Amino acid sequence: MQIGEVISLVVLGAYAVLGAMTMLSPAWMARIVRLVEDPDPGRPGGFSEFRATFGGLFMFSHMMTAALLLTVSQSEVNVLSVLVVLPLAAGWIGAAFGRTLSLLLDKQKNRGNGMIPVWIPMEFLSGLAIAAPILQFMG
């Protein structure tokens, strides 16, 4: 197994655990991302979104990518490991891009920068770390 694959697996595992924790405690994730339920008493809820998107989607997409990476890293065709991780890596880099746009364009709606300058590099680096198997072709 290449070092890039190990880096990718560590990050994928961390996000899968984050997803599992969110499925078990959506209020915890709500505090981290600073989103709140709809304050309209006629429209209660919102935790299903945390459990589904921040929980299930994170957990299962990262777990499946890790499982596929482990499977293909055992094969002779190393390019498959890159193909397995690129969609999810691109998603994280896209999240950093979207958050950068929000930082630049949504100044009034964001009520200050808050954690946005912290999340942008974290998401970008997460994407690069997940895409780390590409390092095996740069040597």
> Are 20 and 55 in contact, with CB atoms under 8 Å apart?
yes
Q: What is the pLDDT of residue 35?
A: 75
**Taking all residues of the chain, what is their mean pLDDT, rounded to a whole number?**
86
The pLDDT of residue 19 is 92
What is the structure's pLDDT at 91?
Answer: 95
User: pTM for the complete prediction?
Assistant: 0.85
**pLDDT top residue among 73 and 24:** 24
Q: Is-contact 21 28, C-beta < 8 A?
A: yes
pLDDT of residue 37: 67
Comparison of pLDDT for 110 and 89, the residue scoring more: 89
Distance CA(6)–CA(13), nearest Å, equals: 10
Region 115-120: mean pLDDT is: 87
Per-residue confidence (pLDDT) for residue 86, from 0 to 100? 93
Give the pLDDT mean for 45-56.
82
Which CA distances in Å does 123 have to 24, 41, 64?
23, 34, 19
For the chain, the structural domain boundaries read 3-131
66 touches 13 (CB < 8 A): yes
